[in-house]
Structure formats: structure tokens, C-alpha cells
């Protein structure tokens, strides 16, 4: 498991495929080094504070392996970080990463908190209709982590799994429950009970329960 790219950026105005403009932090740029604090990376921020950011979502990860699939589906060449991720990573697919996983990255230590809940900004930023729909359908969402120990992160740093307290709650399972299996109350109750789950995600699941 390796860091393919480290990406940061401040919110800016962008135009979508319809000629509309919106302010978003999705258009990040690769850098050779970035310091990750509990509130997120230096020189990085989000525009929508209600739905993005916060200590539970300090760093956004996206699997590099998905890029080839997306390029085949869209017929477009996608430049990292097309999905607005802070860390483009290898060998960390959603099915292989679990809520609560603790990873060491150099001197930094992070803990996975939830899968990404995508929004239409991904379509707008890439000027491609249907990407949001496909993320929801396929679960190629990426995921978030909080920071247990702050530190600098560079490309090619290795991610070393330290702990896996919840092997039964992968990011793929979480995605399936939230988007496609909303009446599986037994599994949803289990997800809610996992202490490492991001609070915002827990609240969303609680609203699904009768």
C-alpha cells in the first residue's frame, strides 16, 4: 500500500459542462509534501462545511486502480486528483479497507472513519455527466480518515496497517448499506455501534432506523 499522489488545494470558482460556476475545493493539485493536522492538510480546505471536512474527515483517500476503469467508462483521460482526494493510494480498494483501520504513514497515524458520500460536484469538475450515479452504483467512492498523530506525508510513502478492530465493516459494506440496503436494520445497527464510525455517518444511519 503506497501513496501515489499527495494533493491539496483551496476552494475556487470552477465552471461545469453547462457553463455554470460554483465554488468548490475539489480541484486540488499534486504536491511533493504536505503536513496533515487533525483538522486536515495545510494549504487545503473545503467550500461546503456542512457536508465536507471536520476532524472525522481530515483526509480523503481514493484508490489509484479505479482511474483506469473510469477512463474506459468515460472515454476521457483523467488527471490525478480527478475525485478531489488528498491521497491517491494503491492496493487499498474499498473492499479491503475497514472502518476503524489504523494506518501509519511515515510518522503520521490515521484511522479510517467512513466511506465517501459523493456529490454532483464530481460530475461538474470533470465535465462528465453520470459519474456520481456510477460511484453510487459501483461503490468506487473512496474513504475518509481522522488523524491520530500529525505529520508530513510525501508521495511513495508506505501505508502500514497497525490495527483492524472491525473486520466485518469494510467501506464496501458501509456503502452498500447506506445506498442500496437501507432496510437491513440488523447490519445498520451494527454499523451504528462501531465507535470508530464518523459521527456524521452514524447520525445518517440512525435516521434510517424505524
Question: 13-17, 160-164, 176-180, 194-198: lowest mean pLDDT where?
Answer: 13-17
Determine the pLDDT at residue 49. 55
Phi-psi region of 125 (alpha: psi -120 to 50; beta: other; left: phi over 0): alpha
- DSSP secondary structure code for residue 197 in this structure: S
Q: Per-residue pLDDT averaged across 60-70, rounded?
A: 98
Report yes or no: 164 and 99 within 8 Å, Cβ to Cβ: no
> What's the CA gap between 189 and 80, in Å, rounded?
36
Residue ranges per structural domain of the chain: 2-208
Give the domain 2-208 fold: M1 Pyruvate Kinase; Domain 3 (2.40.33)
How many CA atoms are closer than 13 Å to the CA of 47, on its beta-carbon side? Answer: 16
Here the cell at position 114 is 467512513
Share of the chain above pLDDT 90, in %: 81
Q: What is the pLDDT of residues 86-99, one digit of tens each?
A: 999 999 999 999 99
Amino acid at each position: 500500500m503506497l501513496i501515489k499522489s499527495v494533493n491539496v488545494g483551496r476552494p475556487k470558482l470552477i465552471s461545469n459542462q453547462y457553463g455554470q460556476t460554483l465554488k468548490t475545493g475539489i480541484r486540488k493539485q499534486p504536491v511533493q509534501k504536505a503536513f496533515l493536522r487533525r483538522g486536515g492538510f495545510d494549504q487545503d480546505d473545503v467550500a461546503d462545511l456542512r457536508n465536507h471536512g471536520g476532524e472525522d474527515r481530515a483526509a480523503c483517500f481514493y484508490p489509484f486502480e479505479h482511474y483506469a476503469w473510469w477512463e474506459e467508462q468515460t472515454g476521457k483521460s483523467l488527471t490525478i486528483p480527478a475525485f478531489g482526494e488528498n491521497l491517491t493510494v494503491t492496493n487499498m480498494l474499498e473492499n479491503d479497507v475497514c472502518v476503524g483501520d489504523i494506518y501509519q504513514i511515515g510518522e503520521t497515524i490515521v484511522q479510517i472513519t467512513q466511506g465517501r458520500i459523493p456529490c454532483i460536484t464530481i460530475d461538474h469538475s470533470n465535465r462528465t455527466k453520470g459519474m456520481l450515479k456510477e460511484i453510487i452504483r459501483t461503490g468506487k467512492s473512496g474513504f475518509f480518515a481522522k488523524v491520530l498523530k500529525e505529520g508530513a506525508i510525501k508521495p511513495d510513502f508506505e501505508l502500514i496497517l497497525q490495527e483492524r478492530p472491525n473486520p466485518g465493516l469494510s467501506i464496501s459494506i458501509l456503502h452498500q448499506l447506506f445506498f442500496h440496503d437501507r432496510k437491513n436494520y440488523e447490519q445498520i445497527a451494527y454499523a451504528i455501534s462501531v465507535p470508530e464510525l464518523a459521527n456524521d455517518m452514524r447520525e445518517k444511519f440512525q435516521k434510517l432506523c424505524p
